[in-house]
Structure 1
Amino acid sequence: MMNPIPSSMYNVALILLFSFLLGMSSAKLSEDFYEKSCPKALFIIKSGVRSAVRAEPRMGASLLRLHFHDCFVNGCDASVLLDDTPTFTGEKTAGPNIGSIRGFDVIDDIKTQIEKYCPGVVSCADILAVAGRDSTVALDGPSWKVLLGRRDSTTASFSDANRDLPAPNSNLNQLISAYSNKGFSVREMVALSGSHTIGQARCVNFRDRIYNDTNINAPFARSLQANCPRSQGDDNLAPLDVTTPTSFDNKYFKNLQSQKGLLHSDQVLFNGGSTDSIVNIYSSNPSTFASDFANAMVKMSTLSPLTGSNGQIRKNCRKIN
């Protein structure tokens, strides 16, 4: 006959099991994560985003890009927001980020407002995720449910940012590989690339294409060369979507069909390859693109989040506590 388990050991086992289950539940993202702890958080973020986009429509694309560049490097943990220090090099000066990502002041302003209302509760990573969604909506794009409960990293990776973020001169295989490494299908990669229906790019990122690529509309190339000479004007800007640059729609894909993709990495999506058919679908069916984009964004925004007791809730998004 087996000896009975002492009640004290049984109670300890129950406590451990409860703690384990509590830890599991706390590690889950949820749409209503701040419903009790900071019920005005989503309103504050939305108001801040709308105000910034009204003042400068380009900011909508910048905030969406900031969220993407955060999540693609070691997950959605606000590591992209950390400033360099004398003893720390963050991600802001990595090749794909320097001169490209912006909107930090908008996130700072939102964080300041939230800290006044509920200090130490809402993470910078969650602010980025919600701002990415609200920016898209502010420019007439689709909405999606943002799951919340991320925490902020206490470190960042300059080398991973250089390695993981797709470059503007990427070929199709490189794009497919970069997205596949993060768990995305080819179709999801094309859908997420459709975010280039808003925003602008610097001359340095499309100069080689407009002077050397052959799969480019000639009048389109000449119109860009006027503002992007061969040897200067690196920071001169051009819209990623020449048709409707401040409206989130499917014109980006129509532009690709006319060989008017601004970046080399845009046009390779429609260049006689495996993704041509997906571009054709999105070009003809704006609602399909909107739905696929929203679903892919939900997936992207949940890449390797820090939850539970991992990371921290930064008081200032630019530095660790």
Structure 2
Amino acid sequence: MNEMPRTIEGKFQDPRLTATGESRAWVAPRALETLWVNTGTLCNLACANCYIESTPTNDALEYISAAEVATLLDEAEREELGLREVGFTGGEPFMNPDFTAMLGDALKRGHEVLVLTNAMRPMQRPGPSQALLALQTLFGNRLSIRVSVDHYSKAVHEAERGPNSWDPMIDGIRWLARNGFTLSIAGRMLSGETEADERAGYARLFNDLDLDLDASDPADLVIFPEMDEAADVPEITTQCWGLLGKSPADIMCSNARMAVKRKGAEAPAILACTLIAYDTRFELGTTLKESMQPVSLNHAHCARFCVLGGASCSG
């Protein structure tokens, strides 16, 4: 007689089995195409639903230094890990005093660089803005800036990001466009609209701002699924790949890792994912080489964002 499946109390607990005893899906590394660097969780905004709880006072991830990032880039070259792209996120990256130095270092090494920013005052200050202009002149479209615009309307955007967060962000976008930066926009499914409705709304915004962006192109406009922590999501089993018509090789942790500097830590840690900064189950060591190991999809975000949401943070 067949045994009943083993049951694990609660979802996303056992790295091998789901709560119903099925084999949990996992992702094998195939290459380190993208290294994400969290520059620190401090941000000039306190959004209503920030993916990693960044605020003006949250320094749980402290500022990573340019020297620490250089050590990781040295390792990627030495170990021939195939690194193509370096992505910077936060918090707000431009609040880190070392940020433009690490940005320039990654570009000088020949990497493509993607910066996620709110394009507000930290970016617009004379020091960072002049450094950006110099790097754009030297490296052109190898430097890409993705600005977070949580909705195409001021009202919904400010409901998420706070009062007086719209106009400074628009000023930053206009400055980037006027100076010829490779620009894209990151939106979120906040309002209950369909993706088609969202893209149509952003198309109107792009037209109003005279931006050379195509709202129907995912490279110009990335729309991320909303990360509702209260929403129930299914666990991903090994059978789901066939049922969903997806491959583990398509999931972000097959080709990306993230470096974070935990407050008080002696060195950065390498994580499997940009979205799970505080879950130590997804910490894979302190070197890039040792981090290239299989990742169990043992977090609700794995299902919500990557597998079912079909999202990727990479450029």
TM norm structure 1 = 0.23
Q: Which has the higher helix share?
A: 1
**Alignment TM-score, normalising by the size of structure 2:** 0.24
More strand by share: 2
- Greater Rg by CA: 1
